[in-house]
Amino acid sequence: MQETAKSARERKAAQRARDKRAVIEAIGCEADAEMRTLIELLRVELVQSESTASASRSAWRAWNEIGQRMSWIDDKSRVVEPSGPTLDLDL
């Protein structure tokens, strides 16, 4: 049985541990992850990529999954152009 954290510091540390565990578990399973986890995975991978100067596949997969959920990337990994008002002029 897990003991309930009593202080704000303990609660925050427990939340950070859960977030870190969720990010680790999301690598390779981005389609099943929550949006909060995808964003954290993307943030962590981009910071690490910047320091090592190499692109991360899990960051790309997280970005792709976020885009699909938000409907600005279609199922073929293409960016979908926003459909704004069109002006048809018959000259």
With a cut of 60, say whether residue 83 has pLDDT above it. no
Taking alpha carbons only, the member of 18, 27, 69 closest to residue 48 is 27
pTM attached to this predicted model: 0.59
Looking at residue 52, its pLDDT comes to: 61
pLDDT band at 48 (very low <50, low <70, confident <90, very high): confident
Specify the pLDDT at position 7. Answer: 92
The more confidently predicted of residues 64 and 74 is 64
Residue 72 DSSP class? S
The whole-number pLDDT of residue 9 equals: 92
| pLDDT more than 70, % of the chain | 68
